[in-house]
Structure 1
Amino acid sequence: MRLERLQLRALRCISDAGLEFAPGFNVLVGANGAGKTSVLEAAFLLSHGRSFRSGAREALLQRGSAGLSIFSTVRHADGRLVRLGLGREGSRWEARVEGQDVLIGQLVRECAIVCFEPGSHALIAGSAEERRRFLDWGVFHVEQEFLPTWRRYQRALKQRNSLLRSNQAPDDDIYSPWELELARTGTLIDQWRRVYLAALTGYLREQASALLPELGAAELRYRPGWPEGDDLVQVLANQRRRDLAKGHTSAGPHRADWSLSFELAPQREHLSRGQEKLVALVCLLAQARLDAERRGEWPVVCLDDLASELDLSHQVAVIERLEAAPAQVLITGTEIPVPLRQAQTKVFHVEQGRLTPLL
């Protein structure tokens, strides 16, 4: 898929801007703080329903504006042209597909975007929540029943946690209905995650061997969030008293995690900050490759401040890999990255929230 047009209003420093993107490489250049990253952020919002910037929800709205809006025209590989919209008035978000109000999940399903940005190293060095988000975004785009199942799981989890916080006695007749629902939906979520990670592993190794050959063979480990091989409903029943003391449910897929280790760097602590960024990029490119295989079209690939995040040799390696893929790529920087200066690209100059096509 590719973004043909992106229209932004009142998003951070961008008052009103429209961009017509090329199918291949698109580069946004300008000074720091000019608004380049906000363009990638807008695309990411359409694809994830949230920003990649931490604590960004309130800061998204341009100061003095009552609301913001993002509109896009998306071209799919089969030729379908779909109009997408996401707007916010006050604290309320509204999503539209082809002019019709829809749930955020329906909007996100139409738009697949992976983004490498300065905070991406959190995928490796940050909390398990970041890695679950990465994993579940991939599962969501290939498993139609994932989202409704996940919502049922979250509803049951909220109910069980409410019982725990209200200090309800750990009786079967009170807790069992919610634990059965948690086990039923949680087991499905776990199965889908395992299938997805099994498919992703080959692409992870391929990308890692290209970008981080010095670390040796890559291995992916997955922890489901409760003891491997145990029945989740029995685990929940056995842990009621302990969970009562804690006030929350301590086992289930909401506690899952995964990690990528290497033959010559078996622990995350063995990686430098630069290597953490490259491992995160490996994961994102592998996810893009798997998404392309499963859905028959590449997601849009966004690379924020590429020249600052990667040294020249790795910039060249990444650009070469993306040139070989039929992917639309959006890149930001204070100048055109060296590997793209002789390539066919569309360039936009960004200054104080204004965007001007140059080439």
Structure 2
Amino acid sequence: MQVTRLDIHQFRRFEQVRLLPGAGINVLVGDNGAGKTSVLEALHLMAYGRSFRGRVGDGLVRDGATALEVFVEWRERPGVAPRPPLPDPGKPADDSNDTLRTRKAGLRHAGRDWDGRLDGSPVAQLGELCAALAVVTFEPGSHALVSGPGEVRRRYLDWGLFHVEPTFLPLWRRYSRALKQRNALLKARASDAQLDAWDRELAETGEPLGRHRQHYLESLQAGFSRLGAELAPALGQLRLQYLPGWRRDELPLADALLLSRQRDLQAGFTSVGPHRADWRTEFSTLPGREALSRGQAKLTALIALFAQAELHAASRGEWPVIGFDDLASELDRKHQARVLEWLLASQAQVFVTGTEPPPMLETQEEVATVFHVEHGTIERIR
């Protein structure tokens, strides 16, 4: 997957700007506050339906404007589809058809109301845009993937499954609707008969939902361990553990929901199920994630995101776009070099921001396209 054009209108400090990135590593340089991160933010918005720095209504729309607009054009292999079962990461699947097709997506967002188009046709749900463009972003808040709440880690699993498992999204939607209905009934102190119906729906969708997530996490394990040894050997051997959200090894979800009903009625919400699921990383040299420094948490999160990018490439036959915000401030020189070596070895298109180009790329001008961001403009300088 390669972005060939990015248009940004009324987005933070950008009134109107166009970026024509290169196929490999693209470096966005400029002073702090120049708008470098906003470029990654625009790509992230198209791929996730939200910014990694807050809601659209919290400052994304430029002062004085009523809505922002983002347009992305990219090339991808036609007919790319998930290939179950999930393969080992680091081995992109072969695709006999190397002919690339061009795709286009546009989004106009006013904070609450939005309009989107994909390949010239209107979309009814933001998820249609998110399913089309795959972007993996590492930014200063990414350490929350390790040290933050379980919701962040569930979104990580669900994003990966959303792109590689075609049955996952409708299952997730069914479970979410059932959960919303059950919680409303709990608050209303509904009858057992009403709750029984939604318990059945939660059990029917929650059991396979949990299996999908666990299988996906297990598929990440090999790449996670290898990348950990390459990028953060001081952490020792890394092991991923899935936490299903109820005592799944002791009883099925239907029984867990029934046993927790009285407690849930008192609390007014559902206390067991995949919506309470989580996962954690175990380190052979540390007692747990609580012992991690902020720098180690960032490295662990980076390893998780890179492992996810590799698994996406192995499953879909092409790499997602990778965004890396403020490389120099997030990693020391030694880890910067390791990360850039991995990025150069991958087949991914990469966007990196910083106040200056990474030193390692200064000697490899042929692999990096450099842009200068200043005063709401973007200019290619190399």
Q: TM-score normalized by structure 2?
A: 0.91
CA distance in structure 1 between the partners assigned to 2:231 and 2:108 by the alignment: 38
Farther off after superposition, 81-90 or 30-39: 81-90
Stretches of structure 1 that go unaligned for 5 or more consecutive residues are none
Q: Deviations over 1:37-86 (max 9, x none)?
A: 01001111111111111355431111110111110111114401101111
Among 122, 130, 150, the alignment partner of 2:152 is 130
State the match for 2:37 in structure 1.
37
Q: Distance in 2 between matches of 1:156 and 1:118?
A: 35
Shift, 1:232, TM fit: 0.5
Could you tell me which amino acid in structure 1 is paired with residue 370 of structure 2?
Answer: V
Q: 2:243 aligns with which of 189, 198, 223?
A: 223
Do 2:61 and 2:110's aligned partners in 1 also have CA atoms closer than 8 Å?
A: no
Deviations 1:290-317 (A, max 9, x none): 0000000001111100001000010000
CA contact (8 A) 1:73 1:83 kept: yes
Answer whether contact 2:56 2:110 (CA < 8 A) is retained.
no
1:188-246, CA deviations, whole angstroms, 9 ceiling, x for partnerless residues? 21111111111111010011001111121111111011112221011111111100111
Match of 2:81 in 1: none
Distance 1:4 1:179 in 2: 47
Return structure 1 stretches of 4+ with deviation > 6 angstroms. none
| From 132, 139, 143, the counterpart of 1:110 | 132
Matched with 2:378 is 355
Aligned partner letter, 1:189: L
Q: How far apart in 2 are the matches of 1:335 and 1:107?
A: 32
- Per the TM alignment, residue 94 of structure 1 is displaced from its structure 2 partner at its CA by 2.1
What amino acid maps onto 2:311 in structure 1? Answer: L
User: What's 2:92 paired with?
Assistant: none
**Cross-structure match for 1:271:** 292
Aligned partners of 1:31 and 1:334 also within 8 Å: yes
> How much has 1:266 moved relative to structure 2?
3.0
AA aligned to 1:140 is: F
Q: How does 1:326-341 map to 2 (within 5 A)?
A: 326-341=347-362
Of 189, 194, 216, the match for 1:174: 194
Residue 91 and residue 189 in structure 1: after superposition, are their counterparts in 2 closer, same or farther (change >3 A)? Answer: same
Gaps of 5+ in 2: 78-97
Total equivalences in the alignment: 357
> Pick from 146, 163, 185: which aligns with 2:168?
146
User: Per-residue CA shift, 1:15-54, capped at 9, x if unaligned?
Assistant: 1000001000100001111110010011111111111113
Matches within 5 A, 1:120-269: 120-169=142-191, 171=192, 173-229=193-249, 230-269=251-290
SS state of the match for residue 119, structure 1? helix
CA contact (8 A) 2:235 2:285 kept: yes
Aligned counterparts, 1:301-312, within 5 A: 301-312=322-333
User: Structure 1 residue 187: deviation in Å?
Assistant: 1.1
Indicate the residue corresponding to 2:84 in structure 1: none
Alignment partners' CA distance in 1, 2:33 and 2:339: 25
Q: Which amino acid aligns with 2:159?
A: W
- The alpha-carbon distance between structure 1 residues 215 and 292, as it changes in their structure 2 partners (threshold 3 A), is same
Q: CA deviation at 1:3?
A: 0.6
Fraction of identical pairs, as percent: 48
CA deviations 1:303-344 (Å, max 9, x no partner) are 100001000010000100111111101000011111111222
1:94 aligns with 2:115: yes
The question of whether the paired residues in 1 share the 8 Å contact of 2:322 and 2:351 is answered with yes
Instruction: Confirm or deny: 8 A CA contact 1:33 1:352 kept in the other structure.
Output: no
